[in-house]
Homo-oligomer: A and B are copies of this chain.
Amino acid sequence: MPRHPRIPDAGVTRLSLYLRELSRLEGEGASFVSSAELARALTLTSAQVRRDLSYFGQFGTSGRGYEIRRLKRIIPRILGLEGRMWRVALVGSGNLGSALLAYRGFRERGFVIKAVFDKDPRKVGRVVAGQRVEEAGWLADVVRGRRIQIGIIAVPAVAAQEVCRRLVRGGVRAILNFAPVSLAAPPHVKLRNVDLSVELESLSYYLSSLNANR
């Protein structure tokens, strides 16, 4: 197991982006890439790319850049994606939940959905993207029984906190929350939020300051 240095949260995010970009480059037949190229593709600076990678070791070759194949082996190792599958529970099989279920990239990135829950009896039992929707009542027990590590919350805002509590009770240590509420969870549980309104509102801020500031 690698001993990770302290890297900015945004840095971890960028590692994912590097990985994605590397696949694209490989698809184009490239075998080396410089920090400058990578930076250009992702609108970063080359120093930033080099710094991010240097937290974990020395992977480049002066005068050549980074070997794509090598980086594509190393970054998943850093991100904890190597030689394992993370077991995920999806809670909520509405529009968003179904969209997430249908997402193909899931599995190839190292995540397997091991359970899908819904509270609505009419949805329970249905099969969505190969997964049978289960009764949310036993959530915590099922999550524990199947040794699920990550929970995805795709339920309405009012239900989200309760779902969060149950996921935590089931032993989950990381949660990706799509509900537009701010959840409370114990400190050992890592929470990430994805919120459409927040994103749109930040675009709004940007657009309206275009007119305001000069």
Give me the interface of A with B, judged by CB distance under 8 Å: 1-4, 9, 12-13, 15-17, 19-21, 24, 41-43, 78-81, 86, 88, 94-96, 98-100, 102-103, 105-106, 109-111, 149-150, 173-176, 180-182, 184, 190, 192, 194-213
Contact = CB atoms under 8 A, between A and B. Distances in A.
B180 A4 contact: no
Contacts of A175: 203
A79 B16 contact: no
A203 B110 CA distance: 12
Contacts of A200: 86, 88, 109, 111, 150, 176
Contacts of A184: 43
A188 to B, nearest CB: 8
A133 to B, nearest CB: 15
Contacts of A205: 4, 12, 15, 78-80
B201 A81 contact: yes
Nearest to A154: B99
Contacts of A99: 94-96, 98-99
A204 B79 contact: yes
Given A190-B206, A201-B16, A196 B79 contact: no
Q: Which 3 A-B pairs have the closest CB atoms?
A: A80-B208, A95-B99, A174-B203
Contacts of A180: 20, 105
A190 B203 contact: yes
A81 B204 contact: yes
Nearest to A175: B203
B150 A197 contact: no
Instruction: Pick the most buried of A16, A21, A203: most chain B CB atoms within 10 A of its CB.
Output: A203
